[in-house]
């Protein structure tokens, strides 16, 4: 499973990228607003740092506006994936941009039917939002499973990009289901390293190291 990092914070992307943990980046208007940076400027900086796809989201609601914005975003770098919402206008834009050879990430997906439409419209990525479904007591991971089954049934190339990930558990569950990509905030990716028994084991080793005065350097 590929890891995308879900942030527009350059320092955080760099730290994970230097460790080889970043296969791509996703941003959205809320993350751009949080960064306080100009969307074109910060997106270019991310594209220069990361080799994989960098999702940048349109802000227009109509197909004509989305297409114009998408074309402008696509000019930033070769690794841009234009992010469009899963609306009818978003699907029209997805089809047009995909036909032009631009990667498209269709976002705000909350149902298997929406994912089916995005694949038919030529999406490179479909972004089902796990956490936001969990928030309203609908099993977000079940949606990932359903989309996996549907895409495999018909051999769709669209990659399942599990989004709105809130925990390390979401990451391992997505990997078990077979999501192609998971995008997560840096803190969640770092939390994957944590285990209570690792901490306990290390504390025991440290106590013995001190008792025995073990030194290597």
Task: Indicate whether 159 belongs to the interface with ligand E4P (CB under 6 A).
Answer: no
Spatial distance between the Cα atoms of 24 and 33, rounded to a whole number of angstroms: 20
Catalytic-residue membership of 211: no
Query: In this chain, which of 102, 107, 124, 159 binds ligand E4P, going by CB under 6 A?
Result: 107
* Residue recorded with tokens 């990716």: 189
Task: Indicate whether 93 belongs to the interface with ligand E4P (CB under 6 A).
Answer: no
Task: Indicate whether 94 belongs to the interface with ligand E4P (CB under 6 A).
Answer: no
Spatial distance between the Cα atoms of 27 and 196, rounded to a whole number of angstroms: 32
Least distance CB 38 / ligand E4P (angstroms): 18
Task: Indicate whether 3 belongs to the interface with ligand E4P (CB under 6 A).
Answer: no
Spatial CA neighbour of 127 closest among 23, 8, 10, 28? 28
User: SS3 for 80?
Assistant: strand
Query: In this chain, which of 43, 114, 127, 159 binds ligand E4P, going by CB under 6 A?
Result: 127
Spatial CA neighbour of 15 closest among 53, 54, 51, 50? 50
Tokens at residue 32, please? Answer: 């751009």
User: SS3 for 24?
Assistant: strand
Task: Indicate whether 124 belongs to the interface with ligand E4P (CB under 6 A).
Answer: no
Looking at the Cβ atoms of 66 and 197, the one nearer to ligand E4P is 66
Least distance CB 26 / ligand E4P (angstroms): 4
Query: In this chain, which of 46, 76, 89, 129 binds ligand E4P, going by CB under 6 A?
Result: 129
Annotated active-site residue in 83, 120, 190, 211: 83
* Residue recorded with tokens 């206008």: 89
Spatial distance between the Cα atoms of 215 and 205, rounded to a whole number of angstroms: 13
Strand duo 159-162 + 125-128: pairing: parallel
Looking at the Cβ atoms of 30 and 113, the one nearer to ligand E4P is 30
Binding residues with ligand E4P: total (CB under 6 A): 11
Query: In this chain, which of 26, 43, 102, 114 binds ligand E4P, going by CB under 6 A?
Result: 26
Within 29-68, the residues that bind ligand E4P by CB under 6 A are none
Looking at the Cβ atoms of 26 and 114, the one nearer to ligand E4P is 26
Looking at the Cβ atoms of 59 and 204, the one nearer to ligand E4P is 59
User: SS3 for 4?
Assistant: strand
Within 8 A by CB and 6+ apart from 7, the residues are 13, 25, 27, 31, 185, 186
Residues binding ligand E4P (CB under 6 A): 6, 26, 28, 107, 127, 129, 131-132, 163-164, 183
Catalytic residues: 83
């Amino acid at each position: 499973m590929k890891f995308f990092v879900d942030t527009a914070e350059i320092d955080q992307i760099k730290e994970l990228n230097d460790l080889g943990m970043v296969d791509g980046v996703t941003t959205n208007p809320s993350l751009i607003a949080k960064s306080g940076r100009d969307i074109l400027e910060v997106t270019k900086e991310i594209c220069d740092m990361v080799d994989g796809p960098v999702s940048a989201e349109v802000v227009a609601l109509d197909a004509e506006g989305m297409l114009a914005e998408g074309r402008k975003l696509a000019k930033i770098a070769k690794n841009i994936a234009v992010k469009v919402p899963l609306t009818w206008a978003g699907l029209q834009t997805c089809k047009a941009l995909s036909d032009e050879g631009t990667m498209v990430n269709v976002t705000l997906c909350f149902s298997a039917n929406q994912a089916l439409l995005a694949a038919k419209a030529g999406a490179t990525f479909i972004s089902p939002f796990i956490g936001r479904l969990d928030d309203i007591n609908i099993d977000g991971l079940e949606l990932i499973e359903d989309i996996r089954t549907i895409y495999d049934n018909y051999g769709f190339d669209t990659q399942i990009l599990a989004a709105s990930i809130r925990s390390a558990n979401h990451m391992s569950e997505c990997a078990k289901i077979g999501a192609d990509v998971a995008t997560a905030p840096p803190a969640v990716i770092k939390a994957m390293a944590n285990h209570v028994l690792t901490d306990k084991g290390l504390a025991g080793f440290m106590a013995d190291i001190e008792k025995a005065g073990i030194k290597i350097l």
